[in-house]
Structure 1
Amino acid sequence: MSVQSRDPRTGQVNGEVPDSPPEAVDAAVSAAAAAAPRLAAVAPGVRAGWLRALADALEENRQRLATLADRETALGEERLGGEVTRTANQLRHYAAVAEEGSYLEATIDHGGEGSPDLRRVNVPLGPVAVFGASNFPFAFGVLGNDTASALAAGCPVVAKAHPAHPLLCTELRDLAVAALTGAGAPEGTYEVVHGFAAGERLVLHPAISAVAFTGSQSGGLALWRLAASRDVVIPVYAEMGTVNPLVVTPGAARKRGAEIASGFVSSYTLGMGQFCTKPGLFLAPAGAGLVEAVAGALRSAAPRGWLLTEAIAEAYASGVERLAAAGARVVARVDAPEAGWAAAPALLSVTVADLTGKPELLTECFGPVALACEYADLDELRAVLAVLPGSLAAAVHAELEEEELFTELVSTLSRTAGRVVVDGYPTGVVVGWAQQHGGPWPATTMPQTTSVGAHALDRFVRPVAYQNAPDQVLPPPLRDGNPWRLPRRVNGRLVPAAEGER
């Protein structure tokens, strides 16, 4: 069998890639398992060099990769070229995080007076299976955040190619293997497999230590259940789609309602709504005219485009029908292009009673659609917020003069969202030290983790403590001489690497 690459604009076939047979999957994982001890033993600064070499290779091939990706995604060469640059910068960020070394949490208690010498450090889990996303073929694909953070943490990666862009995944695999090998990484550090059966075999392989996934709730939960069926259960870090709410207060509606409405349309239709952080629910005060303003902004913007795959397009159409069957009413709609896997952007309105009584309205519909709801008073707003499921992000537009309400909303939203955006929109996830891209169930399977930013490495390590171990048998981060020059906590005190403590 094989995976077909198709052009979303026309449905025409670009080419095809053979499925990986079982023996190829086993060989890839075996090579990763053989490489794992070597990656774990290498200083983080060395691995940082590998990631920077990979970043340079991406940028050197920026235009060629963007052109190929556009044939498979219809996302546009300009956006895709920018995404290549973003992905290169992500790789450099994770290189810097590895090099800095605090993710290892090296901790030393010297003991004495009857207490043992204890030393604790995070160690890599081992080979990681990465399932890349469809909507960001570079930044969240087979060389995206999951792969970069796993490699930075010292874990080999076997990535499962996404069927939406198999030709690009193959090209990225060849580029990555060449760059990593050229930089000195051992054989087995990185590989890619293709096909549904290959993905299942990958998760079930006993040498795989963890799974990272970005995509739909159904896909993430399927992998989570599969991993739980193993003799040795492993963690599945699934970042899944949710309904991300945006709340507008009465004060913000009065002062900048039109601006907020326009920004909301730009955000929920960005990339034809194919963002896991798309704001899917707009909550505004009744009588402010914001629902009409959003409808007008949608008609004026008239976004047109295609969804990534035929299956996504079909799911979008049926999802809008599902929302309508549950009581949502179409307020505005934009005609879609006739060819390919086009989607008609839409705005639907619902009542507070609908949202509090019909949970099916609070499930994600992937694509350019959003629900708008007016609340008559703060009690109605609180009633809606009380039934919201976990989400990756939430946004609030408020005025400082509404300090009590403003504070309440930020606090309330933080209970169900991984990131609270103030006076902005949740689409767009900055890669940095303080980022949190995760959230309570069902946004993710592990709400205490993030798939973006410095703390993404935490998913792929585990702590080990060593008691009364001689210096020469300890891992380098715990030795008295601190050969890797890491920040450490010694006898309760944080000691920067520059101090060269013992």
Structure 2
Amino acid sequence: MLDGKNIIGYDRTQRGSVTFRTINPVLNKENDTLFYEASEEEVEQAVSLAQKAARFYSETTHGDRAAFLKAIADEIMALGEDLIEIYCKESGLPEGRAKGERSRTVNQLKLCAELLDEGSFVEASIDTAMPDREPNPRVDLRKMMVPLGPVAVFGASNFPLAYSSAGGDTASALAAGCPVIVKGHPMHAGTGSMVSSAIISAAKKSGMPEGVFSHLNSKGHAVGEALVKHSQIKAVGFTGSHGGGRALFNMAAEREEPIPVFAEMGSVNPVVFLPEILKKEKEKWAKTLAGSVTLGSGQFCTNPGIMMGIKGSELEQFAEILTDEILNISPSSMLHPDIAGKYEEGKKMMHSQKGTAVVAEWKEKTEPNVGRQAILKVSASEFMENPKLHQEVFGPFSLLVECLNIEDLERSVALLEGQLTASIIGTSDELRGYDFLIGLLRDRVGRLIFNGVPTGVEVCASMHHGGPYPATTDSRFTAVGHDAIKRWLRPVCYQNCPDELLPVALQNANPLQLLRRVDGALTQSKI
């Protein structure tokens, strides 16, 4: 049962004076539960508990941490239909999406547990002593990754489960051995609170220290700012707007002890059509793109916000079919009145830019907060001259850029900012003839997609969900998959340390049976 309180360690508190309610965007009215924003005192208590828990938790075995993550997954599933109901009430998203996202969240936790069982993430490396080496002896050197310390995670507006309280940031940080404090998103505070209760239940059953996890309610910016500025917070995970992510990044950099902020800040995910493919498969790709643009009312960081192709009859016919396809899809509710309002503002901004024209736009009347899809078009020359046309419009929107020739297309791609993804659509033969264009796209993205759309992010070892700035604050890291854990770790080298004092991963006997780099060779053997 929801009580609107903050979850600090094993306590539930409500010391703040600021309150708020979530909104049901489909009904366009507030939900019942009153939530209490965390006070300065509650923020301090959560961080203090996390700092105290950090030393014990960082030294728990991989097996114990894996069991903890699996227990969280079980506790989330045990919430049953109550979780699905509050998710739908707070997001306006359908039941199928809620259950799918719950499965993704649970699978992320299990994936991190599998990574702990396998153990390679510690990157154990050993160079044994060479006392007789001439002219200089070599000391014994052993290196591995260790947890950073307490992490602040910001819940995302568009994924109440998969990028929020128990989402990828939390799962990977807990796997790394870092206590987590979640700054809940005010749009789905009830969903976050329920999931956080499940995490606490799992922590108690798994014997984890109090403070390994806390969940703080927040209506405005004060709680987030207090967390980022706190000297005991060692890293930040964020998924949201460019403005929000950049503000946190700057704040963290200005601390007396700067800390990393791993922020995913949006993307327009360009889709590039080569000439021959539209001669053969324009109907297929028009239908596919219409579905991708409108999926989830366009509220994905991988929504295809820009399409590019060579101007001519084939592109014109593609646009005509795309118009029919996208207008055959009924618009759906957006996550919140504020998001719906910003989407309409974004569309108006694009409409007002020189040279833009409507390809397709839903004109019929809808219920409040529904995202009415739109496709505009513009020439490549106007696109290259106007940076505003490169901006993300968060919702079911895309801009078709008409290029005069392949050189025009390449120049347009070269001006794109960093993106999470880019897609290139072409026949097998013509893909082999566009190496330069493929290279331009690769240099601007974290995931390059061939003959596919960007929506849909597989949670697995080979996925990279990140990209050059401004898509993220650090293109070397991913928010999805095995390597997400690397954000919350740092290397430590032990020099001439007695074997019995070494971490288990670096001991001579290799009791964890890790694949380690020993004197330059990968091996599981003892030393």
TM-score (norm 1): 0.97
Tell me the residue number matched to 1:421: 449
Tell me the residue number matched to 2:305: 280
| Ranges of 4+ aligned residues in structure 1 off by more than 6 Å | none
Instruction: Tell me which amino acid in the other structure corresponds to 1:326.
Output: Q
Q: How many residues align?
A: 498
Instruction: Tell me which amino acid in the other structure corresponds to 1:189.
Output: V
- Partners of 2:96 and 2:267 in 1: CA distance: 27
- Partners of 2:349 and 2:257 in 1: CA distance: 39
Instruction: Tell me which amino acid in the other structure corresponds to 1:4.
Output: R
- Partners of 1:73 and 1:173 in 2: CA distance: 18
- Partners of 1:430 and 1:183 in 2: CA distance: 29
Tell me the residue number matched to 1:258: 283
Deviation readout 1:250-281 (Å, 9 max, x if unpaired): 11111111111110110011000000000111
TM-score (norm 2): 0.92
Does the 8 Å contact 1:16/1:167 carry over to 2? Answer: no
- Partners of 2:20 and 2:222 in 1: CA distance: 12
Please say if 1:329 is aligned against 2:352.
Answer: no
Please say if 1:149 is aligned against 2:176.
Answer: no
Residue 241 and residue 171 in structure 1: after superposition, are their counterparts in 2 closer, same or farther (change >3 A)? same
- Partners of 1:58 and 1:203 in 2: CA distance: 28
Q: Could you tell me which of 293, 298, 301 is aligned with 1:268?
A: 293
Instruction: Tell me which amino acid in the other structure corresponds to 1:133.
Output: A
- Partners of 2:225 and 2:403 in 1: CA distance: 45
Compute the RMSD of aligned alpha carbons: 1.3
Does the 8 Å contact 1:346/1:370 carry over to 2? Answer: yes
- Partners of 2:337 and 2:433 in 1: CA distance: 44
Does the 8 Å contact 2:422/2:447 carry over to 1? Answer: yes
Does the 8 Å contact 2:270/2:422 carry over to 1? Answer: yes
Tell me the residue number matched to 1:10: 27
User: How do 1:6-85 and structure 2 match up within 5 A?
Assistant: 6-14=23-31, 15-85=33-103
- Partners of 1:348 and 1:255 in 2: CA distance: 24
Instruction: Tell me which amino acid in the other structure corresponds to 2:210.
Output: E
Q: Could you tell me which of 343, 347, 356 is aligned with 1:320?
A: 347
Deviation readout 1:180-239 (Å, 9 max, x if unpaired): 211222111111111131111111111000000011111111111111121111000001
Tell me the residue number matched to 2:334: 307
Once structures 1 and 2 are overlaid, which stretch shifts more, 137-146 or 52-61?
52-61
Shift of residue 428 of structure 1? 0.8
Instruction: Tell me which amino acid in the other structure corresponds to 2:332.
Output: G
Instruction: Tell me which amino acid in the other structure corresponds to 1:5.
Output: T
Tell me the residue number matched to 2:12: none
- Partners of 1:481 and 1:24 in 2: CA distance: 45
Q: Could you tell me which of 197, 202, 214 is aligned with 1:191?
A: 214
- Partners of 1:65 and 1:211 in 2: CA distance: 26
SS of residue paired to 2:514: coil
Identity within the alignment, %: 39
- Partners of 1:237 and 1:135 in 2: CA distance: 18
- Partners of 1:199 and 1:300 in 2: CA distance: 41
Shift of residue 418 of structure 1? 0.4
Uncovered stretches (5+) of structure 1, i.e. residues with no partner? none
Instruction: Tell me which amino acid in the other structure corresponds to 1:10.
Output: L
Instruction: Tell me which amino acid in the other structure corresponds to 1:52.
Output: K
Once structures 1 and 2 are overlaid, which stretch shifts more, 66-75 or 480-489?
480-489
Shift of residue 337 of structure 1? 5.6
SS of residue paired to 2:367: coil
- Partners of 1:349 and 1:330 in 2: CA distance: 6
Q: Could you tell me which of 308, 319, 322 is aligned with 1:294?
A: 322
Q: Could you tell me which of 465, 480, 484 is aligned with 1:456?
A: 484
- Partners of 2:364 and 2:390 in 1: CA distance: 25
Does the 8 Å contact 2:376/2:399 carry over to 1? Answer: yes
Shift of residue 406 of structure 1? 4.1
